[in-house]
């Protein structure tokens, strides 16, 4: 177990470092002089030189990278070009909104999708299975940004049930929740179908295994067979899928944050890209990648903890 944990952690760190390096190189391939971008065209040469020295722009590339990587590891993501505010601080304000949205979306999708998948796997080709199949494909077929737009059209503009813009009043939980409903619905909808189909497929596969037939041959209750013997195995690939698919979920939150004008990491990236405020973009991208890596790590560890075959061999 410890060996696996160690290996998996090392891998995560390497992936984050690779991402940091890629970002660093990308930023350095920006056409134009970073100093004049940062300070504008009218800065005096002295001010420019001072800025370059402060940002280590006069040093060789690898040196800049080491400083950059070192700062990142210390949690220093640089500062806003315009306001000189700490990027880390800005992001720490935005991150909770994104996490809340992601958790809400994934949560409702799992609560609906996993039971749906189980039910349709228990009776394949029943009417429930067919309806679930149609719902699944239907929800997968509509991209999340389209769901967002259509949801606004239906629930906010036509029916006027729910608010469109923003994340709600600060401190007002009820208002915040009301503002969370539509974005979470939009981001999670595709996942309902995705999870239902995934669970159904892996349940069907497990239900065909010899040990399920043995359990039936020993006369166990269908309930016990489904939940203890089948689901316990079938859920494992689903957990891995959630981990891997989390990147896609984050893409969904970016669209939702932009369309619903919600604060969040995605919205920040979008706004700052348009404003060419690179330190913030860079920091925010790093934070999202780190988030993704952490989630896949958790998913992997959960799977290996739940499966005794893996648990022992580690």
Q: Footprint of another protein on residues 162-191 (CB under 8 A)?
A: none
Residue 23 interacts with another protein (CB under 8 A)? yes
Copy the structure tokens of residue 274.
């348009």
- Sequence-separated (6 or more) residues with CB below 8 Å from residue 63: 56
| Chain CA centroid to CA 254, Å | 10
Between residues 60 and 308, which has the closer beta carbon with respect to another protein? 308
List the one residue from 14, 61, 111, 131 that touches another protein (CB under 8 A).
14
85 binds another protein (CB under 8 A): no
Min CB(261)–another protein separation in Å: 12
- Residue 91 to residue 89: CA distance in whole angstroms: 5
254 lies in the site for another protein, by CB under 8 A = yes
The rounded distance, in Å, linking the Cα atoms of 103 and 177 is 13
Render 253-270 in DSSP notation, one character per residue: HHHHHHHTT--SHHHHHH
Q: Is 305 in the site for another protein (CB under 8 A)?
A: no
Question: Quick check: 6 and 283 in contact, CB under 8 A?
Answer: no
Q: Which of 26, 61, 73, 89 binds another protein (CB under 8 A)?
A: 26
Nearest distance from residue 3's CB to another protein, in Å?
6
Q: Does 205 bind another protein (CB under 8 A)?
A: yes
Tell me if 233 contacts another protein by CB under 8 A: yes
Site for another protein in 121-140 (CB under 8 A): 137-138, 140
Q: Is 111 one of the binding residues for another protein (CB under 8 A)?
A: no
Q: How many CA atoms lie within 13 A of 46 on its CB side?
A: 0
Which of the residues 213 through 232 are near another protein (CB under 8 A)? Answer: 213-222, 224, 228-229, 232
Please, what is the Cα angle at 111 between 214 and 189, to 5 degrees? 120
């Amino acid at each position: 177990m410890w060996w696996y944990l160690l290996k998996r952690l090392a891998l995560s760190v390497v992936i984050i470092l690779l991402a940091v390096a890629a970002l660093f190189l990308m930023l350095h391939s920006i056409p134009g002089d970073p100093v004049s971008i940062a300070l504008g065209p009218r800065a005096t040469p002295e001010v420019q030189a001072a800025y370059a020295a402060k940002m280590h722009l006069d040093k060789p590339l690898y040196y800049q990278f080491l400083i950059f990587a070192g700062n990142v590891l210390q949690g220093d993501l640089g500062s806003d070009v315009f306001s000189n505010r700490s990027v880390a601080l800005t992001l720490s304000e935005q991150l909770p909104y994104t996490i809340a949205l992601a958790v809400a979306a994934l949560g409702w999708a799992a609560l609906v999708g996993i039971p749906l998948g189980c039910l349709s796997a228990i009776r394949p080709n029943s009417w429930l299975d067919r309806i679930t199949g149609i719902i699944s494909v239907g929800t997968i077929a509509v991209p999340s940004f389209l769901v967002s737009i259509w949801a606004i059209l239906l629930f906010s503009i036509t029916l006027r049930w729910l608010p469109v813009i923003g994340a709600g009043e600060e401190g007002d939980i009820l208002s915040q929740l009301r503002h969370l409903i539509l974005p979470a619905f939009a981001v999670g909808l595709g996942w309902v179908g995705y999870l239902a189909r995934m669970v159904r497929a892996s349940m069907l596969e497990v239900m065909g295994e010899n040990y399920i037939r043995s359990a039936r041959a020993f006369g166990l209750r269908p309930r016990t067979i489904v939940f203890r013997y089948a689901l316990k195995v079938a859920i494992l690939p689903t957990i891995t899928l959630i981990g891997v698919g989390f990147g896609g979920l984050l893409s969904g939150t970016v669209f939702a944050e932009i369309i619903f004008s919600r604060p969040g990491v995605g919205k920040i990236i979008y706004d700052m890209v348009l404003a060419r405020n690179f330190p913030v973009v860079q920091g925010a991208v790093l934070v999202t990648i780190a988030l993704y890596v952490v989630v896949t790590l958790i998913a992997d560890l959960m799977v290996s903890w739940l499966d005794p075959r893996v648990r022992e061999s580690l």
